[in-house]
């Protein structure tokens, strides 16, 4: 019975956090949703929140929950979700992605765990033409 509650497995959908250089300024960090599927994603909702502990004070931190809706993403397409400030890199940043393909709803949780967003460790992401980290 519990298996019936689980939706279909989400494959070929990724979330990337990339660094976008800005001339004569600090870079901007942005989260993108990437459709690596061979079909069209529709009715997409992304909910994001950050949570964790301030490494300096030990105080618990929880950000506001932000929601973004995207009507359609074609195969191979990437969509800008939201910018993320570097002072949030020390906490966990969670993104719930829900979408429809034909008559089936898919749902997946992506988490950039606390302390894993390190610009010095970013790799080149060809599909976004930028350096960053990618979760699949």
| Interstrand relation of 78-83 and 92-101 (parallel, antiparallel or unpaired) | unpaired
pLDDT for position 6: 67
For residue range 48-90, list pLDDT tens digits in order: 999 999 888 889 999 999 999 999 999 999 999 999 999 999 9
Distance separating alpha carbons of residues 117 and 26, to the nearest angstrom:
16
For 91, phi then psi, to 5°, come to -115, 170
As a whole number, mean pLDDT of residues 21-37 equals 96
Query: pTM for this one?
Result: 0.92
Can you say how many angstroms the Cα of residue 1 is from the centroid of all Cα atoms in its chain? Answer: 30
């Amino acid at each position: 019975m519990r298996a019936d509650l689980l939706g279909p497995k989400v494959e070929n959908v990724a979330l990337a956090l990339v660094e976008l250089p800005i001339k004569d300024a600090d870079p901007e960090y942005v989260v993108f949703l990437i459709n690596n599927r061979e079909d069209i994603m529709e009715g997409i909702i992304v909910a994001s929140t950050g949570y964790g502990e301030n490494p300096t004070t030990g105080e618990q931190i929880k950000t506001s929950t932000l929601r973004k809706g995207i009507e359609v993403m074609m195969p191979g397409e990437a969509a800008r979700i939201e910018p993320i400030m570097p002072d949030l890199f020390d906490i966990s940043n969670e993104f719930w992605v829900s979408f429809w393909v034909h008559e089936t709803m898919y749902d997946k949780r992506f988490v950039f765990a606390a302390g894993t967003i390190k610009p010095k460790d970013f790799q080149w992401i060809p599909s976004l033409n930028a350096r960053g980290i990618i979760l699949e």
